[in-house]
Chain A
Amino acid sequence: MRLTSYLQEGRLTIALTGEIDHHCAKKYIDAIEGKIEAYMPNVCLLDFEDVTFMDSSGIAVVINAMRSVTRINGKLHVCGLREQPLKVIRASGIDKIIDIKEGAL
């Protein structure tokens, strides 16, 4: 698991990398929650540009990020999705409740 983040004008960008599966999902969930609670952003952007694979464990990562941001009245956006992660997100239906920005920002 590797994750980088930066805060700019109340917007927290968190970039995930590599393959997201059950093996590393818990670490991502906890790390994202920790960042959101530490920085209290108005907007949190999950950047998937460097995520080369995810399975349904990645859905749990996005849903938990959504819960953490909502708890502090912030908004979650997901961006940079490659074809495979996007297909998994669409199959799960969470694209209907989460704001997905096509391509990179």
Chain B
Amino acid sequence: MKFDNYMVLEFPSKSANEGFARSAVACFAAQLDPTMEELGDIRTAVSEAVTNCIVHAYPEEIGTITVRCRILKDQILDIVIKDKGIGIADLEQARRPMFTTGGAERSGMGFTIMETFMTNFSVTSEPGKGTVVHMRRKLQRRK
């Protein structure tokens, strides 16, 4: 895959890093001259994916989260968010709106939001090995 630019972040699954991760990706995306709405969508989707790693992938321990961003041709921002946590046994169930294993503090809307806010979205997972969320967002070209 041809790309124009990329960046990789690695950090521990501490909730203080949620804000850091979404801001870092938004800063990287800024070179594509996105609209406020596009930036908001990207920040939201990244926040959801990173929060899932912190809350669900590593419930009892601090593990490593990797975020990789690439800029592909035609103004496409490609984002991969990866953990080596507990994984997801039933992906279809996990992606259903309002499904959560997290109790009253979670809404079960994370995957739904990633799907609606991004142009492409996929998730692969292996129980005991971890989860990979892959998202793409095509940005409007502005004059």
A interface vs B, CB < 8 Å? 19, 21-23, 25-26, 29, 53, 55-57, 59-60, 63-64, 83-84, 87-88, 91-93
Known contacts: A21-B18, A21-B51, A23-B18. The answer to whether A57 contacts B112 by CB under 8 A is: no
Specify the chain A residue showing the minimal Cβ separation from B17: A23
Give Cα A23 to B51, complex, Å.
9
Are the CB atoms of A91 and B117 closer together than 8 Å?
A: yes
- B18 contacts A91, C-beta separation under 8 Å: no
B26 to chain A, nearest CB (A): 10
B109 touches A64 (CB 8 A): no
> Is the beta-carbon distance between A25 and B47 smaller than 8 angstroms?
no
A interface secondary structure, majority: helix
Query: Does chain A have a CB within 8 A of B15?
Result: yes
Interface of B (DSSP majority class)? helix
Number of A-B contacts (CB under 8 A): 75
Query: Does B19 contact A83, Cβ atoms closer than 8 Å?
Result: no
Q: Which range contains the number of B residues in contact with the other chain? A: 20 to 34
With contact pairs A91-B112, A92-B112, A92-B113 given, residues A55 and B16 touching in the complex (Cβ less than 8 Å): no
- What distance in Å separates the Cβ of A52 from its nearest Cβ neighbour in chain B? 10
A23 touches B113 (CB 8 A): no
Q: Which residues of the other chain, A, contact B113 by a CB distance below 8 angstroms?
A: 55-56, 88, 91-92
Minimal Cβ-Cβ distance residue in A for B117: A91
C-alpha gap A88/B107 in the complex (Å): 12
Residues B104 and A60 in contact, CB atoms below 8 Å apart = yes
Q: Residue on A with the closest CB to B104?
A: A64
From B43, B55, B97, contact of A22 by CB (8 A):
B55
The reply on B74 being an interface residue by CB < 8 A is no
Q: Taking the complex as formed, is B116 at the interface, i.e. its CB lies under 8 A from any CB of chain A? A: yes
Distance in Å from the Cβ of A83 to the closest Cβ of chain B? 7
**8 closest Cβ pairs, A-B complex:** A84-B40, A59-B107, A23-B15, A55-B47, A56-B109, A60-B107, A92-B109, A22-B51
